[in-house]
Amino acid sequence: MKKIALYICIWVICSVQIAKAQHFPTYASINKYFHNKYIAPSNDNYSLTFAKKKGGWYVYELNANASPAKSINEQLFCSAETHKFYVLNYKIKNRKSPEDSNEDWKNEINSESYNYDRIPYYGYSGWDQDVIKDFGNQKNLKDTLLEGLGRAYSSYSMAFLWGQYSYMSEIPDQKEIPSSEPYAEERINNFIKYADLGIEVYHQLEQKFPEYEMMLGKAQISYADEIMYKYSTLCIAGKYKLAKASLKSGLFNPMLLTMARNYLNSMAPNAILFTTGDNDTYPLWYVQETENYRKDVTVINCSLLNLPRYINLLKSGNYSYYKKIKMAWDENIMMNDSLSYAILDSKLDGKQLSINALINELSNTHAIQKTDGKSQLYASGNKFFIKAPELEINTYKVLDDTDKINLIKQLSFNLEITYLLKGDIAILDIIAQNRWERPIYFTIGSDNAIALALKPYLQLEGLVCHLLPKKITIEEHEEENETKLYNTTILYGILMDKIKWVDNYSAKPQKDKLSIREMQTMKSAYMELLRALIAEGNLEKAKNVITRVYNLFPLESYPYGIYDLSVVEAYFKFEEYDKALSILDLAVNNESKLYKNASEEDKAVCKENLSKTLDYAKEICFEKGLILHSRKYFAQLNALQP
């Protein structure tokens, strides 16, 4: 009986502790309360930061540029015990004054709310250790606490190899070491130990709460991603055999594996593909490793390229099955951790600099200057070009006669940024050294600065964009971000012949966010092809594309919306007005439902999509002389406006 009483006592204490951790005010409410009452301190060196600790919400200022990072003026803001707000020693905001009109903090709410609200403690050095200490030995944790514990193990494991970024650790084996130095075996073992603990927690989450929605989708996706994170980290640490041994079968669902193969099938042999995040990278690496599928393609993650060890790994050719990546950037400068970016200086007065000249410049010690006692890398200008000699162009077998009419010998572009990250320099170097010898691709919608600058030369081919010495061949759209480069013959061949599905898996409705997003990417590629064919007047092929879309994405599983309006345009071109209007109504009704049922977080995006859909419907109906229909959509659009 004494043991039972003791267990009950422990359970009550733990339950109270967990309840307290779970009932803090939200990050959004804390942030709004502060900025509505106080004027945030203005300091170039320190940034205002919030920390959610066991005792409550704290406010402090962090200098992340210092090594180690320094925090000052930490104050308790809201008690976890009483939920009482304390007065802070910051200037009170005058309601009648325009003081502190900067509202960048609202963007921070959107980007950080997930972390603060899902993890019991967060936002300070040692948050991961505190979460592990308080919840690591607890049983039967709720879904959000399991996720928070998994995130803590993942963060803690990362610190043994990559450091803590803005949250500096005091643990000796977590102190950052130069990228040029190999890791001690003890560090590797500690990383594996805590990464495995994180994987086990995510596995529990997947098993106990399979429908639990996380940032990327269902819990199973995060479990798979955590294993792939361990795999990629061990590869970068030079432990490829351990990395490959960590992979498990059945990590990704059939749809994501099919999508990965289709990404790879979109590219010519011996390609280099630049990806952006986890979602468009991990499944590709996984099918290459576990299925030996399209190993001729080198998949390079742009985010990881900011790590010198990853760049060095690609250059060395020791990473799995990949060939060595040609690069010319001086290794000593590239591996220098203190030179994480290069400031773009406008010394050339508008003159263009070749990428090879840029890399040569950045490989020279003269490019390193002293600023406030610190070393800084500088580059001349922000206007660049990539040469495309005729001899090299002719080796491009993927180009047809139509392409060759539009070929150019120089790809000129401007970088609308003031600095180049180390990863940006690496991308430019890889493009320059491998140009035309190996085809270069980016994933659709890449927000990388280099991809955005090279957009006029990126031709849509299946699920990827191919860098080509070619001009845009169709009329530009009003919005610059809608401008696309096409070769409808190549795009049609890929989407109609090379894109394959296992058991018509695409026709099945998807439930997790990641799968839905990937299917939308696939569907949007067909819509782009359809729009390009209509622009060319090739209506026969356009009809084939619509048939293919109907087969892959049946209406009952994929209701039409804003991304499917090319089908409406096509049916108007076919002079099948009834079908066009029917799909237009379906698109408007579906976007209306999405907006009506949207969470507060998604409300603004859904409203914008509905507004754009109604505006399109109003305009195209007016253009076709369907005045009553146009007025109907116009009235709905007006009703939507505040």
What whole-number distance in Å separates Cα of residue 307 and Cα of residue 342? 15
Per-residue pLDDT averaged across 383-405, rounded? 62
| 123 φ/ψ sector (left φ>0, alpha ψ -120 to 50, else beta) | left
Res 74 pLDDT > 70: yes
What pLDDT is recorded for position 178? 84
Backbone angles phi, psi at 632, to 5 degrees: -60, -50
Alpha-carbon distance 41 to 21, whole Å?
A: 29
**Does 301 score more than 90 pLDDT?**
yes
DSSP SS3 for 168: coil
pLDDT in tens, 476-527: 444 444 456 778 888 999 999 888 776 555 556 666 667 777 778 888 889 8
Reported as a pLDDT band with limits 50, 70 and 90, residue 106 is: low
Could you read off the pLDDT of 419-441 as tens digits, one per residue?
Answer: 899 999 999 999 999 877 889 99
**DSSP letters along 383-435, please?**
EEEEE--HHHHHT-TT--HHHHHTB-SEEEEE--SSEEEHHHHHHHHHHHHHT
- Residue 24 tokens read as 């803090």
pLDDT at position 396 over 70? no
Q: Give the pLDDT confidence score for residue 230 in this predicted structure.
A: 96
Burial 374-411 (b: 16+ CB within 10 A, else e): eebbbbbbbbbebebeeeebeebeebeeebeeebeeeb
Per-residue pLDDT band for 64 (boundaries 50, 70, 90) equals low
Band (42; pLDDT cuts 50, 70, 90): confident
Whether 282 has a pLDDT exceeding 60, the answer reads yes
Residue 337 and residue 325: Cα distance in Å, rounded? 21
pLDDT value for 172: 72
Q: Are 32 and 108 within 8 A, CB to CB?
A: no
CA 148 to CA 168: how far, in whole Å?
Answer: 20
Token pair 């610059």 in the structure block, residue: 480
> What pLDDT does 410 receive?
84
- Determine the pLDDT at residue 440: 93
Per-residue model confidence as pLDDT tens digits over 625-638: 999 999 999 999 99
In angstroms and rounded to an integer, the radius of gyration of the C-alpha atoms of the chain is 27
Residue 53 has pLDDT above 80, yes or no: yes
C-alpha span between 72 and 59 (Å, rounded): 10
Q: Please say whether the beta carbons of 507 and 481 come within 8 A.
A: no
How many C-beta atoms surround the C-beta of residue 292 within 10 A? 9
pTM: 0.85
pLDDT category of residue 2 using cuts at 50, 70 and 90: very low
Model pLDDT for residues 521-571, shown as the tens digit of each residue: 888 889 889 988 998 889 999 999 999 888 888 777 777 888 888 899 899
Average the pLDDT over 438-460 and give the result: 89
Q: What angle do CA 457, 460, 464 make, to 5 degrees?
A: 105
Backbone phi, then psi, for 629, in 5-degree steps? Answer: -65, -40
Return the number of other C-beta atoms located less than 10 Å from residue 628's C-beta: 7
Helix (H) or strand (E) holding 112: helix 105-118
Q: For the residues 41-67, what does the mean pLDDT come to?
A: 84
pLDDT confidence of 599, banded at 50, 70, 90? confident
**pLDDT at 216 exceeding the cut of 90:** no
Q: Which of 310, 322, 118 is nearest to 222 (CA)?
A: 118
Kindly state the tokens that stand for 28. Answer: 């959004």
Give the model's confidence band at 45: pLDDT under 50 very low, under 70 low, under 90 confident, else very high: confident
| CA 203/CA 191 separation, integer angstroms | 18
Is residue 295 scored above 50 in pLDDT?
A: yes
Using DSSP, state whether 75 is helix, strand or coil: strand
Q: Residue 566: which of 481, 482, 497 has the closest Cα?
A: 482
Is pLDDT larger for residue 102 or for residue 441?
Answer: 441
Answer yes or no: is pLDDT of 20 > 70.
no
> 466 pLDDT exceeds 50?
yes
Q: What is the mean pLDDT of residues 272-292?
A: 92
Q: Residue 75 pLDDT > 60, yes or no?
A: yes
Least Cα distance to 157 among 126, 197, 214 occurs for 197
Banded model confidence at residue 13, pLDDT cuts 50, 70, 90 = very low
Cβ(179)–Cβ(311) below 8 Å = no
- The residue type found at 305 is L
Task: Report residue 3's pLDDT band, with 50, 70 and 90 as the boundaries.
Answer: very low
CA distance 144 to 126: 19
CA 381 to chain centre: 28
Q: What is the mean pLDDT of residues 451-468?
A: 90
- More confident call, 344 vs 104: 344
Tell me the C-alpha distance between 330 and 434, whole Å.
16
User: Which stretch of 316-330, 421-435, 453-467 has the lowest confidence by average pLDDT?
Assistant: 316-330
d(CA 548, CA 229): 36
Q: What letter does residue 1 receive in the DSSP assignment?
A: -
Burial of 12 (0-12, 13-18, 19+ CB in 10 A): exposed
Confidence class of residue 475 from pLDDT cuts 50, 70 and 90?
Answer: very low
Which CATH architecture fits 498-640? Alpha Horseshoe (1.25)
The H or E element that residue 369 is part of is strand 368-371
Residue type, 320: S
Structural contact between residues 588 and 636, judged by C-beta atoms closer than 8 angstroms? yes
Q: Which uninterrupted H or E stretch holds 605?
A: helix 603-623
Q: Is the pLDDT of residue 15 over 70?
A: no
Give the pLDDT score at 17. 42
User: Residues 263-277: what's their mean pLDDT?
Assistant: 92
How is residue 460 written in tokens? 């849509």
3-class SS at 317? coil
Asked if the model's pLDDT at residue 315 lies above 90, the reply is no
Hey, where are the domains in the chain?
A: 1-114, 125-251, 255-492, 498-640
Neighbour-count burial for 130-159, b at 16+ CB within 10 Å, e otherwise: bbbebbeeeeebebbbbbbbbbbbbbbbbb
Which candidate, 161, 156, 157, places its Cα nearest to that of 181? 161
pLDDT band of residue 578 (cuts 50, 70, 90) is very high
Looking at this protein, which amino acid is placed at residue 636?
Q
Contact yes or no for 51/64 (Cβ under 8 A): no
For 353-370, what is the mean pLDDT? 87
Nearest to 512 by CA among 199, 256, 202, 148: 256
